[in-house]
């Protein structure tokens, strides 16, 4: 998980006075589990742990916008959208960011702008990363997202340990 990118993004927002931060967030394998059928009709709509708290928090913030990044077919997306809304999660856009306009330096016609990407195809671990994002957000913006009871503290510790396993693998040589 690229927590450093989240930390850096919020530092840039403060230093450069950015009005918004754009979160581009994948659906299957990131917010809800990927199904195994040939289509998504039998997929269980359930949220990964702590995704609800984080996504509700971002939904409420006027200075953060969320783009749902998904290949879900058009005739199925309403179902997903309603499920997310019923959990207090409100995305601003679907697979686009019309809010960030083209500049002389950047053409967003074919690659839309985002500040932070969460995607299980891009190193996001849905079982552990949401709680770490919650904590990093709390530290970056000095607000509260999760009540840190013993269970949540233990889960955070487990998530941190899990992410360190990969890092340790990189520095071990035979």
Chain residues in the site for Mg ion (CB under 5 A)? 26, 28-29, 120
Contact 132, 1 (CB under 8 A): yes
| Residue 53 vs 120, nearer CB to Mg ion | 120
* Closest-approach residue to Mg ion (CB): 29
Q: Quick one: 120 or 129, whose CB is closer to Mg ion?
A: 120
Structure tokens at 147: 């009540």
Beta strands across the sheet bearing 93-94: 93-94, 64-69, 21-26, 116-118
Provide, rounded to whole angstroms, the least separation between the CB of residue 10 and Mg ion: 24
Give the shortest CB-73-to-Mg ion separation in angstroms.
Answer: 15
Nearer Cβ to Mg ion (18/29): 29
Quick one: which of 22, 57, 32 has its CA closest to 127? 32
Min. distance of Cβ 69 from Mg ion in angstroms? 8
Question: Which helix (H) or strand (E) segment is 31 a member of?
Answer: none
By C-beta, is 10 or 50 nearer to Mg ion?
50
Cβ at position 106, least distance to Mg ion in Å = 26
Q: Strand runs (DSSP E) across the chain, as ranges? A: 21-26, 64-69, 93-94, 116-118
């Amino acid at each position: 998980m690229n927590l450093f990118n989240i930390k850096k993004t919020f530092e840039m927002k403060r230093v450069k006075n950015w009005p918004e931060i754009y979160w581009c967030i994948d659906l299957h394998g990131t917010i809800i589990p990927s199904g195994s059928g040939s289509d998504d009709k039998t997929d269980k709509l359930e949220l990964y742990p702590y995704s609800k708290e984080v996504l509700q928090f971002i939904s409420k913030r006027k200075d953060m916008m969320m783009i749902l990044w998904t290949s879900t077919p058009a005739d199925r997306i309403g179902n997903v959208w309603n499920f997310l809304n019923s959990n207090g999660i409100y995305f601003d856009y679907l697979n686009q960011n019309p809010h960030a306009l083209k500049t002389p330096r950047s053409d967003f016609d074919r690659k839309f702008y985002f500040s932070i990407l969460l995607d299980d195809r891009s190193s996001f671990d849905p079982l552990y990363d949401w709680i770490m994002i919650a904590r990093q957000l709390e530290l970056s913006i000095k607000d509260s997202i999760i009540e840190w009871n013993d269970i949540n503290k233990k889960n955070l510790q487990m998530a941190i340990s899990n992410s360190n396993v990969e890092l340790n693998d990189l520095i071990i040589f035979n």
